[in-house]
Chains A and B, each alone.
Chain A
Amino acid sequence: MGDSAMTDAQKNRIRRTMMFLNTQRAALVKDSYVYKPDSVLLDLEDAVAEGEKDSARVQLYNTLKYVDYHGVERFVRINGLDTPHYKEDIRASVAGGADGIRIPKTETKNDVALVEELVEKAEKEFGRPVGSTMLMAALESPRAVLNAYEIATSSDRMMGIALSAGDFKRTMHARQTADGSELATARGLIIMAARAAGIMAFDTVYTNIDDIAGLRREAELIRDMGFDGKSLISPKQIATIHEVFTPTEKEISRAEHLILAVEENKKKGVGVLVVDGAMVDIAMVEGAYRTLTLAKASGVYKGGLV
């Protein structure tokens, strides 16, 4: 992050892939940027054994401070708020200059408020610009999902909410299905809450790293539902997700035409017009820009409109 509080551009950057990294494994964290994830999630929680939390935190600080991620965004998954670790996790993350913090097992807006307070304190303590550290919340229980909107709107620092399906499925007594129907309601509620709050929504990890076809099916599903991206556990999954989120040539061309035509018409004061044989209005411009931004991130758009 820069030296000032977060900007919209930072909050709204492309995040198709947020890849978990075991913070303790130096070989893993030092060069994960070569796989070009949009964000990394430096994990202090599940990947780190209980007895190693201290050393992982030191490793985290040094990673944040000294490893050049070449523009890849760095979030930290802290330990749960029901553990003795999260306060120090937050201090280390902010001191190192993490772009944001992922709060696991978020249940209510109070959880976010607690973290926000500690983050602000740490920003002051370590001379970071107050307000520069983003927050995102992982929703891992039915209660959390039902509170999705209040969580999503609980802080200006919130940039997204994420479904974390492992615990959720267990609590729901759900069975894992091939088409993910056991998660349909949760996904629906989360994407709606995120959109209503004007923040991003991220889908859960796909745990079978050898099943690329299955990953693709799931990525297509969540893309079509409107999710911004997925959490990942392996670099092997990055290319597939990026591919799924890459707009087609037709979509790119339509977006370009739309933006140019709407801009042209704006000057004339006309709100509705026909582009490529279909009626469009100015509200569709936002979607067109998003298409081109995704296309640019995917390396298939070289134009200058974004």
Chain B
Amino acid sequence: MINKAGRDIPDELLKDGLEVFQGQYYRDGYEYKKAAPKVKGYVQPRGSKVVDSLKDAILKCGLKDGMTVSFHHHFREGDYVASMVMEVIHELGFKDIYICASSLGAAQKSFVPMIEDGTITGISTSGVRAEIGRAISEGKLPRPAMIRTHGGRVRAIETGDIHIDIAFIGAPTSDELGNSRGTGGKSDCGVLSYAVVDARYADKVVVVTDMLVPTPNLPAGIQGIDVDYVVVVDQIGNPKKIASAVLRMTENPRELMIAEYATKCMVATPYFKDGFSFQTGAGGASLAVTRFLRPYMEKQGIQMGFACGGIVEPMVQLLKDGFIRKIVDTQDFDIASVESIGKTPGHVEISTSEYANPLNKGAFVNYLDFVILGALEVDVDYNVNVVQGSDGLIQGAPGGHVDTAAGAKCTIIATPLVRSRIPSIRDRVTSVTTPGESVDIVVTEYGVAVNPARADLIACLADSGVPLKTIEELRDEAYKLVGTPADIKFEDKIVALVEYRDGTIIDVIRKPADLG
């Protein structure tokens, strides 16, 4: 069946109530009853929840073949927890485990042999990179992986589309009751936002920490009332890979040019006024937008109401300097933001449900005025791909891309027209992550294209000083520079489903041919 994004979704996938994507606001007003975990009460007076080892915790939780376990990715490339837990599960001989992760990357490459030997048979994640991306692309999982957005993952858990049997939550500090925080230990990650829904909806919750602290460890990101066991290990992550000391401020003239155009676009809209809300990624151009914004805010004497999403030093600096009233934080990318959370007035932790779940009573993304996002590919219908690389391999993350694009009043995609010899603007994206109806403006160094559906923005930008082009003109320029890209060849086998944030299927990913 062809869905609203123009992608063909095979009918045989559409069972158990699965629907195709039918527009970004299709499920507005959708009613459902929230899922609930099975909870074992703790009525008697007790002492510590600390158990001797991960093995103990896994056995006490009653893990069985076929169960679903979850992990968060706040430790990013420095995560030890997911691999540590899965290695014990593997040693214990469990099979057919379903992984529900907020993201997977190089740190979890030990999963690949477990996929090959049947320990892991299913994956749901908001991002796949490195070796696991390749393993999924090669079709090594017996069932297609489910690629979800950050908001979509929370939604799936809260609606019961996916049920977590045991959540393993790495925490920089925890007390004996499981009250856990993202800071204060030797492996600080700032916030634990992605794990909050796991803690609340999983049947069993295990906190894994390398820093047991005196009770009470408050205010806690993960509350002890949701935690069954606490395991103390030597090290939960590599601090050097969890947060980088300094995010390089780009001096790349191309990125600066893109950032300057994106900033000019923002300033030209009616949304750029006191109290506006904003999110940006951590890429070079996105960070530079934050820098470029400051003088405009100074000149107009306005403050940002709130900034959200992954937080980096320039944003924290704006808060400290009085240009932002609140930062609502779900992820910290650098040491400055980790150090700021909870200490700088106005820098507060929120859960991913508060951030991006489309089916709660109003996530922060729905109140965004602007979001600046990246793209691997954008097509002439403004559809964006951030999941599949130019070789067809799964190497990306929808993360909050889709959620913020749908929620923001003005969604700006900032991308170089050509990467190396690959055009970013093209006839048709390899797969759709974010539908074109969610995308308002595409900014490249060659010019700025505005979605024709946004005639209001086209009018705003007419005198903004940015070179306005049609998306077709940008595509033509890209093709002129590096040639028309040949389509990647795929086999019929579907290796992953790309789920839209509301639970409908926006695209499928097939196995690339000639993987070698």
A residues with CB within 8 A of B: 27, 30-31, 34-35, 68, 210, 234-236, 299
Chain B residue numbers with a CB within 8 Å of A234 are 253
Q: What's the nearest-Cβ distance from chain A to residue B250, in Å?
A: 11
Q: What's the nearest-Cβ distance from chain A to residue B4, in Å?
A: 34
**Contact of A236 with B253 in the complex, beta carbons under 8 Å:** yes
The 8 Å CB contact of B481, one of A30, A235, A236, is A30
Question: Which B440-462 residues have a C-beta within 8 angstroms of A?
Answer: 445-446
**Contact of B251 with A210 in the complex, beta carbons under 8 Å:** yes
Does B257 count as interface, using CB distance less than 8 angstroms? yes
The 8 Å CB contact of B418, one of A31, A35, A68, A235, is A31
- A34, A68, A234, A236 — which one has the most chain B CB atoms within 10 A of its CB? A34
Does B480 count as interface, using CB distance less than 8 angstroms? yes
CA distance A219 to B251 in the complex (A): 20
**Contact of B480 with A68 in the complex, beta carbons under 8 Å:** yes
Chain B residue numbers with a CB within 8 Å of A68 are 480
Chain B residue numbers with a CB within 8 Å of A31 are 417-418, 446, 481
**Chain A at the B interface: mostly helix, strand, loop or mixed?**
loop
Chain A residue numbers with a CB within 8 Å of B48 are none
Q: What's the nearest-Cβ distance from chain B to residue A297, in Å?
A: 15
Given the interface contacts A27-B420, A210-B251, A236-B251, does A34 sit within 8 Å of B257 by beta carbon? yes
Encoded as 1 (CB less than 8 Å from any A CB) or 0, chain B from 496 to 513 comes to: 000000000000000000
Chain A residue numbers with a CB within 8 Å of B417 are 31
Minimum CB distance partner of A299 in chain B: B465
Does B256 count as interface, using CB distance less than 8 angstroms? yes
Minimum CB distance partner of B260 in chain A: A239
CA distance A133 to B277 in the complex (A): 55
**Contact of A35 with B481 in the complex, beta carbons under 8 Å:** no
CA distance A31 to B256 in the complex (A): 16
**Contact of B445 with A34 in the complex, beta carbons under 8 Å:** yes
CA distance A35 to B481 in the complex (A): 15
Q: What's the nearest-Cβ distance from chain A to residue B228, in Å?
A: 54
Minimum CB distance partner of A234 in chain B: B253
Chain A residue numbers with a CB within 8 Å of B465 are 299
**Contact of A35 with B480 in the complex, beta carbons under 8 Å:** no
Question: Which B355-403 residues have a C-beta within 8 angstroms of A?
Answer: none
New contact pairs (8) apart from A235-B253, A236-B251, CB-CB < 8 Å: A30-B481, A31-B417, A34-B254, A34-B257, A34-B446, A68-B480, A234-B253, A299-B465
**Contact of A236 with B256 in the complex, beta carbons under 8 Å:** yes
Chain B residue numbers with a CB within 8 Å of A34 are 254, 257, 445-446
> What is the total number of residues of chain B having a CB less than 8 Å from a CB of chain A?
13
CA distance A236 to B465 in the complex (A): 19
Q: What's the nearest-Cβ distance from chain B to residue A125, in Å?
A: 30
B residues with CB within 8 A of A: 251, 253-254, 256-257, 417-418, 420, 445-446, 465, 480-481
Chain B residue numbers with a CB within 8 Å of A235 are 253
Q: What's the nearest-Cβ distance from chain A to residue B12, in Å?
A: 45
Chain A residue numbers with a CB within 8 Å of B253 are 35, 234-236
CA distance A299 to B465 in the complex (A): 9
Chain A residue numbers with a CB within 8 Å of B256 are 236
Minimum CB distance partner of A238 in chain B: B253
CA distance A289 to B254 in the complex (A): 33
CA distance A236 to B251 in the complex (A): 8
CA distance A31 to B417 in the complex (A): 10
CA distance A27 to B480 in the complex (A): 14
Chain A residue numbers with a CB within 8 Å of B251 are 210, 236
**Contact of B257 with A35 in the complex, beta carbons under 8 Å:** yes
Q: What's the nearest-Cβ distance from chain B to residue A103, in Å?
A: 28
CA distance A297 to B381 in the complex (A): 34
Would you give 7 A-B contacts (Cβ < 8 Å), ordered by A? A27-B420, A31-B418, A31-B481, A34-B257, A34-B445, A34-B446, A235-B253
CA distance A66 to B417 in the complex (A): 19
Minimum CB distance partner of A35 in chain B: B253
CA distance A35 to B252 in the complex (A): 12
CA distance A210 to B253 in the complex (A): 11
CA distance A236 to B254 in the complex (A): 9
Minimum CB distance partner of A33 in chain B: B446
Q: What's the nearest-Cβ distance from chain A to residue B285, in Å?
A: 14
Minimum CB distance partner of B421 in chain A: A27
Q: What's the nearest-Cβ distance from chain A to residue B192, in Å?
A: 38
Chain B residue numbers with a CB within 8 Å of A299 are 465
Q: What's the nearest-Cβ distance from chain A to residue B318, in Å?
A: 21
Q: What's the nearest-Cβ distance from chain A to residue B236, in Å?
A: 39
Minimum CB distance partner of B447 in chain A: A34
CA distance A67 to B173 in the complex (A): 58
CA distance A239 to B253 in the complex (A): 10
Minimum CB distance partner of A235 in chain B: B253
Chain A residue numbers with a CB within 8 Å of B445 are 34
Minimum CB distance partner of B480 in chain A: A68
CB-CB nearest 9 A-B residue pairs? A235-B253, A236-B253, A34-B445, A34-B446, A31-B481, A30-B481, A35-B253, A236-B251, A234-B253
Chain A residue numbers with a CB within 8 Å of B446 are 31, 34
- B253, B256, B445 — which one has the most chain A CB atoms within 10 A of its CB? B253
Q: What's the nearest-Cβ distance from chain B to residue A67, in Å?
A: 9
Q: What's the nearest-Cβ distance from chain B to residue A30, in Å?
A: 6
CA distance A52 to B170 in the complex (A): 54
CA distance A53 to B251 in the complex (A): 30
CA distance A30 to B481 in the complex (A): 7
Q: What's the nearest-Cβ distance from chain A to residue B286, in Å?
A: 19
Q: What's the nearest-Cβ distance from chain A to residue B448, in Å?
A: 13
CA distance A30 to B254 in the complex (A): 13
Q: What's the nearest-Cβ distance from chain B to residue A238, in Å?
A: 8
Q: What's the nearest-Cβ distance from chain A to residue B241, in Å?
A: 28
- A27, A30, A31 — which one has the most chain B CB atoms within 10 A of its CB? A31
CA distance A77 to B254 in the complex (A): 24
Chain A residue numbers with a CB within 8 Å of B420 are 27
Minimum CB distance partner of B465 in chain A: A299
Chain A residue numbers with a CB within 8 Å of B418 are 31
CA distance A30 to B478 in the complex (A): 11
Q: What's the nearest-Cβ distance from chain B to residue A242, in Å?
A: 13
CA distance A210 to B251 in the complex (A): 8
CA distance A235 to B251 in the complex (A): 10
Chain A residue numbers with a CB within 8 Å of B257 are 34-35
Q: What's the nearest-Cβ distance from chain A to residue B469, in Å?
A: 12
Minimum CB distance partner of A34 in chain B: B445
CA distance A210 to B250 in the complex (A): 11
Q: What's the nearest-Cβ distance from chain B to residue A275, in Å?
A: 30
Chain A residue numbers with a CB within 8 Å of B480 are 68
Minimum CB distance partner of B482 in chain A: A30
Chain A residue numbers with a CB within 8 Å of B481 are 30-31
CA distance A110 to B256 in the complex (A): 44
Q: What's the nearest-Cβ distance from chain B to residue A205, in Å?
A: 16
Q: What's the nearest-Cβ distance from chain B to residue A213, in Å?
A: 15
CA distance A242 to B254 in the complex (A): 17
- B254, B256, B257, B481 — which one has the most chain A CB atoms within 10 A of its CB? B257
Chain B residue numbers with a CB within 8 Å of A236 are 251, 253, 256
CA distance A234 to B420 in the complex (A): 19
Minimum CB distance partner of B252 in chain A: A236
CA distance A27 to B422 in the complex (A): 12
Minimum CB distance partner of A210 in chain B: B251
Chain B residue numbers with a CB within 8 Å of A27 are 420
